[in-house]
Structure 1
């Protein structure tokens, strides 16, 4: 399955579980999947926040009169802790796999993934540049952990948002678990627009909450979204001028930018495949912009799942073996935020690289 198909095919369960369902690869599963270690000089700390926006009802369940969100923070830490943070709960792993009728792999297998962050470690520094992450539809915030840990190891504060009722399963404090109720509304003709607009409101609310904290530099904020999260980046930037730069990782732009355009820096980074929505919106990106294509990538290559599925013996069709997909995504996203939040020019964004021959510049 490719991202160029309609989002409804991804809504059913997500690329990961769809491929697992047809692969029959349980016998090749490893005991402990793992994420590549981050490359920066700082240890990584992490914590989770429960946030409640009482100004609006939930867009998917109007009877719920406040929008509840779970957010993970990753940040540079003063020192490593004694235990690594969990990747997800066993129940969340089970719900993600069962949503694709998966019974031929251990249902808790993803919960065993080894991360490289330490829960509630003391932060190193204040007034950090902030990168907000928005995951693909039906995928949890944890699907972007490898990218989050990398950025945090280089001194960024990273906030990964779970957009409630838009993924297979997420857990609130106290153990309350909610599932993808939005999936039942996918036949609504305005479905994608509703998702994009709702995510923009989620991000703005999270920014309201985070920018009250001394940990955040309010003048240096970027958003990086994957798939539906990427589709939401432009809408968020239009609605919230605090977001100085945005990157869309393999996300079809389901809501067009206005004719007046978007003048802040924007990166389109995805598979080596056509996307008419990227073509039609290109001229409306009127500031710094780049469009990059990754040969051999599949949709999941811009998440943790290309690496993790290879480790448990599942073939997604990716030509990026081992940790290559994570290496590429980390390098280019970090170059983008370094340049636009820290003012550090990165040649990686301007020309071919012998380190990453899979990546080609297709627009600037």
Structure 2
């Protein structure tokens, strides 16, 4: 999927004063254009099989580390905008799994939020903050497997009435086209994603109190804590 599928979340974080970088990963997003005009097609879309998920996560982790080189290295392309000491990564589906993996492999990432993404690559031990936000379904087996290895701050949230795509822009865009967004109204779904991700990064990048993450909140009864 295109980086544009999380525009609603990116806009909200930017409105709160965060610098947001969205990533299209060559050869797995459709039509990624390089500065010289070359276009990389989506090979992963047509060649998905055993081991592909692990390769995608490996590639995404390398892409984000390269991006951090460009944003926080000796000659940053966004000079003066990015604080290299305060970096979080969030993603949906396999992007969420990639966020957790990058947290483990790149010390520059301080916190990771996984929005309904199966952890195809075992996390291994980490003391850095991780938030898992899942749709309403039986517990993800990989989250059960890796939960004990998350020995720092951690949360596992379930959004009742949500589906896998609820954490993207699809419900809002679909509602505008007359498509039923499901049990949770489209704008409500977007609000839930925005509020909980913002609380997460506020707490771990800005050291701000985030009571929303301390337990169930009466304003958001759809969200339960595991």
Per the normalisation by structure 1, the TM-score is 0.58
Find the counterpart in structure 1 of residue 7 from structure 2.
145
Taking the aligned partners of 1:232 and 1:178, their CA distance within structure 2 comes to 20
Q: Deviations over 1:107-147 (max 9, x none)?
A: xxxxxxxxxxxxxxxxxxxxxxxxxxxxxxxx100001110
Taking the aligned partners of 1:194 and 1:170, their CA distance within structure 2 comes to 18
SS in 1 for 2:142: helix
Q: 1:234 aligns with which of 86, 89, 100?
A: 100
Superposed counterparts of 1:174-323, under 5 Å: 177-187=39-49, 189-211=50-72, 212=76, 213-258=79-124, 261-273=125-137, 274-315=139-180, 318-323=182-187
Find the counterpart in structure 2 of residue 348 from structure 1.
212
Taking the aligned partners of 2:162 and 2:31, their CA distance within structure 1 comes to 26
**Any runs of at least 4 consecutive aligned residues in structure 1 with deviations exceeding 6 A, and if so which?**
none
Taking the aligned partners of 1:186 and 1:321, their CA distance within structure 2 comes to 32
User: Which is richer in strand?
Assistant: 1
Superposed counterparts of 1:349-364, under 5 Å: 349-362=213-226
**Is the contact made by 2:44 and 2:52 (CA closer than 8 Å) also made in structure 1?**
no
**Is the contact made by 1:170 and 1:178 (CA closer than 8 Å) also made in structure 2?**
yes
Taking the aligned partners of 1:313 and 1:215, their CA distance within structure 2 comes to 39
How far has the Cα of 1:354 moved from its partner?
1.6
How far has the Cα of 1:322 moved from its partner?
3.4
How far has the Cα of 1:183 moved from its partner?
2.1
How far has the Cα of 1:307 moved from its partner?
1.1
**Is the contact made by 1:249 and 1:270 (CA closer than 8 Å) also made in structure 2?**
yes
Per the normalisation by structure 2, the TM-score is 0.93
Taking the aligned partners of 2:40 and 2:170, their CA distance within structure 1 comes to 22
**Is the contact made by 1:224 and 1:247 (CA closer than 8 Å) also made in structure 2?**
yes
Of stretches 333-342 and 164-173 in structure 1, the one that deviates more from structure 2 is 164-173
**Is the contact made by 2:25 and 2:32 (CA closer than 8 Å) also made in structure 1?**
no
Taking the aligned partners of 2:153 and 2:67, their CA distance within structure 1 comes to 26
Taking the aligned partners of 2:37 and 2:174, their CA distance within structure 1 comes to 27
Taking the aligned partners of 1:297 and 1:280, their CA distance within structure 2 comes to 23
Q: Which has the higher contact order (CA 8 A, sep 6+)?
A: 1
How far has the Cα of 1:214 moved from its partner?
1.5
Which of structures 1 and 2 has the bigger CA Rg? 1
**Is the contact made by 1:245 and 1:264 (CA closer than 8 Å) also made in structure 2?**
yes
How many correspondences in the alignment?
220
Find the counterpart in structure 2 of residue 169 from structure 1.
31
**Is the contact made by 1:350 and 1:361 (CA closer than 8 Å) also made in structure 2?**
no
